[in-house]
Amino acid sequence: MTNRDVNSKERALIIAFRMFFGEKINVNDTAEAYGVSKRTILRDISAIRHVLADKDLANERFELKYNEGHNNYNILDNGILSLEEALLVLMTLAGNIPDINSDSLNKVLKGITNLVATADRRQLKPAMLNAKESYLALSKKKDILPQVRELLIWIINRKAVHFTYKNRSFNGVPLSIFVKNRDCFVLMYVDDDVKQNVVYPINKLLNLSESKLEIKIARTNLERHCDFVN
């Protein structure tokens, strides 16, 4: 059976599935492929839009988007988990599953990724790449999980924090969390006289709390790496 042999319902269903799997549907090319008019393809897309707008069927997760410049349509997955929720799930798993094999962990990570909006998956990717090592580290350091969860929320929302390190008080903005040699660290932009990025071991940060200060970070600091503190 060729494209030209399908009926209207089959054609609309095929077009919908193609968009669900990430394909962008060009109206002109699709009309030519099925041997129908552009108006017919637009009616198919209108029917798909109607289904996606039904809250009982699509639950507002999927959204049909039109790119005028390329005259094509695609379906965006708005996800059911926010970035913050997905990262918290990762941290919770690390603290509550004492032993999980590599294949199972890969399935979990893929499943979590698929629950996040398509537009946010690129931002989630670095966390996923580090997830295996983080899991191994965090599963053995449950005492710092509350701090890790708080830091993740502050990182996502770019919140300033107050903390004590080696009997000195600081204000700063946490930028990222990572694992090295099975220990957990936070990259922090510190708002002191020098205004620099500093890496701190999470288990040595005391009195960690959200600050009401508004701290602006220069782009160079967002992109700059730094050395570990002693």
Q: Are residues 157 and 106 in the same domain?
A: no
Q: Burial, 31: exposed, middle or buried (Cβ in 10 Å; 0-12, 13-18, 19+)?
A: middle
- Helix, strand, coil abundance in the chain, percent, nearest 5: 50, 25, 25
The CATH number of whichever domain residue 215 belongs to comes to 2.30.30.100
Same domain, 132 and 64: no
**pLDDT value for 21:** 81
pTM: 0.47
What CATH number does residue 43 fall under? Answer: 1.10.10.10
Residue at which a domain ends, from 58, 77, 96: 77
pLDDT digits (tens, 9 = 90+) for 25-84: 999 999 999 999 999 999 999 988 888 877 665 556 788 899 988 889 998 888 777 766
pLDDT (0 to 100) of residue 157: 81
Q: What is the DSSP string of 11-46?
A: HHHHHHHHHHTT--EEHHHHHHHHT--HHHHHHHHH
Q: Are residues 187 and 169 in the same domain?
A: yes
> How many structural domains is the chain composed of?
3
Domain shared by 37 and 107, yes or no: no
- Report the relative pairing of strands 62-67 and 25-26 from DSSP bridges: unpaired
129, 64 contact by CB (below 8 A): no
User: Which stretches of the chain drop beneath a pLDDT of 50?
Assistant: 1, 223
47 CB contacts (<8 Å, ≥6 apart)?
Answer: 12
Residue ranges making up the domain that contains 129: 80-140
- Three-state SS for 102-113 is HHHHHHHHHHHH
Domain end residue (candidates: 44, 61, 77): 77
For residues 147 and 225, state if they share a domain. Answer: yes
The pLDDT value given to residue 2? 55
Based on the fold, state whether residues 228 and 152 are members of the same structural domain: yes
Last residue within a domain, chosen from 140, 161, 181: 140
Q: Are residues 53 and 85 in the same domain?
A: no
- Residues 86, 128 within the same domain: yes
Cα angle 159-161-163, degrees, rounded to a multiple of 5: 165
* pLDDT at site 1: 46
